[in-house]
Structure 1
Amino acid sequence: MDNQQKQQIGGVIQAIGTVISAIANTPISVLSDQFQEDLDLIGNVLQATGNGLIADGQIPFSLKRIGNEVQAIGNTTVIAGMVLPLEDDTSQVLNIKGNLLQAFGAGVVLGVEFENELGDSASNQGITIISNLLQVAGNSLQALGGKYELDHPNEDKSYSESLIFAGSWIQAVGAVISALPRQ
């Protein structure tokens, strides 16, 4: 498999993972809490795998590669918070930090795109900017929702859940846009 194929396959896997996580963070009363947690875990594993493949297909030591590696580390941090036997607050902190790492990683990729000169692929560059901007915003909203929930444990969770829900779907839209084939 060549580097371009790794990046394309990684982008599709990442997009599938973000959509699965977004479904898991959608308040659907017919799904059990355990099923939604399992979906979120699967989604984050797919996101980490996808980001890892994208990074592996990029030029070593490029900022884009580092950004995708940081996103994979962010997903791994979220996964650790889900599977390790930790106190609820510690798991929540790992989830918040994992989402912030994902936002930071997407921000690094976004910054590289702003630095690049516009060339023949100006539309591709615009798509990359929009998709990473959406992922930065989505992950940031998820982290904000988690932080609000952590800071207000005795309050109604509808506000924090709505931030996490919106952030999950915004991130998913960004990942899907990123995975779309381009010319």
Structure 2
Amino acid sequence: MTFRGEDLLLSGAWILGIGSLIDTIGQTQQTFTHSDQGKDLIVKGNGIEAFGNSLQAIGRTKLFKPERELAQIYTIFGAWLEAAGNSTNAVGVSIELNGAEEEGVKIDTLGSGVQGLGAAFEAVGAFLEVDSSYRELAIIGNSFISLGSFLAAIGNIYVLNEKSVIGEQILLVGSWIQVIGAFILLHAITLEVEHIKHEEHEKNPKNGNGNSYPYSYNNYSFTNT
């Protein structure tokens, strides 16, 4: 069974939003308890986010159109960078839970920086896209995710310099900014997928037998674009 690009794109956006929320709940617990409580959720949240980023990258690749090559290359590359960054975050926090706190925080810091860079690439990719109802939302959403990720990296640097209280506060702010960005991006991608479906409908109207066009959710056909 082969999933279509827009299905993967939208699923990835939902998974990214859920993962970022789980991560932020864990970070909130950790910040307010001043303990390792919540780190399990942070690991799970980052892992889920990485999976969502990967689905988005694959979906974008399936939807690739030569006429928008540069914008799409930025977006696909950015999504894979985000997946790598979130995976690194998960590894770093797992190492912290196993007792090697300093090493784990350093790896987590690296992961946040890579994630922030990836989201920045996606924001640039959205900027280079043709004007649409979802373009500005995609720029804003990815920019929020990028800002939140870089704040998380800064927060970890404070933690490494034995300024844990302010570091945890910056981590919390960065985490919530990422959640906001993820759900703005989800709205943007929902609009984008609706636009893709509309374009497919225009190209493939109902046939003479009254059946829906091949790419309709009424038939839910899992074919390649």
Superposition RMSD on alpha carbons, in Å?
2.1
| Amino acid of the structure 2 residue aligned with 1:98 | G
Instruction: Tell whether 2:151 aligns with 1:141.
Output: yes
Query: 1:171 is matched with which residue?
Result: 178
List per-residue Cα deviations over 1:37-66 (Å, max 9, x = no partner). 111111001100000100011126822111
Q: Say yes or no: does 1:45 pair with 2:52.
A: no
Greater Cα shift, 108-117 or 38-47: 108-117
User: Runs of 5+ in structure 1 lacking a partner?
Assistant: none
Supply the distance in 2 between the matched residues of 1:101 and 1:30 (Cα, whole angstroms): 26
What is the count of residue pairs matched by the alignment? Answer: 177
Partner of 1:10: 12
Q: 1:32 to 1:160 in 2, by over 3 A?
A: closer
Q: 1:149 to 1:112 in 2, by over 3 A?
A: same
More displaced 10-residue stretch of structure 1: 100-109 or 35-44: 35-44
1:53-64 superposed matches below 5 A: 53-59=55-61, 62-64=73-75
Q: CA deviation at 1:158?
A: 2.0
CA distance in structure 2 between the partners assigned to 1:29 and 1:114 by the alignment:
35
2:91 maps to: 80
Tell me how far apart the structure 2 counterparts of residues 98 and 40 of structure 1 sit (CA, whole Å): 13
How far residue 128 of structure 1 moved from its aligned partner, in angstroms, is 0.1
Match 2:110 to one of 63, 78, 97:
97
Compute the displacement of 1:34 (Å): 4.9
- Pick from 71, 79, 82: which aligns with 1:71? 82
TM-score by length of 1: 0.89
Name the SS for the 1:78 alignment partner. Answer: helix
Cα deviation, residue 176, structure 1: 1.1
Shift of 1:115: 2.2
SS at match of 2:109: helix
For 2:152 and 2:77, the matched residues in 1 are separated by: 22
Unaligned runs of 5+ in 2: 65-71, 195-225
> Equivalent of 2:122, from 104, 109, 114?
109
SS in 2 for 1:103: helix
Taking the aligned partners of 1:57 and 1:75, their CA distance within structure 2 comes to 18
**TM-score normalised according to structure 2 size:** 0.73
Bigger Rg over Cα:
2
CA distance in 1 between partners of 2:36 and 2:150 (Å): 25
Percent identity at matched positions? 27
How far is 1:143 from its partner? Answer: 0.6
- Alignment CA distance shift 1:42-1:31 (3 Å): farther
Greater relative CO (CA pairs within 8 A, separation 6+)? 1
Q: Which residue in the other structure is 2:219 paired with?
A: none
CA separation of 1:30 and 1:77: change in aligned 2, threshold 3 A: closer
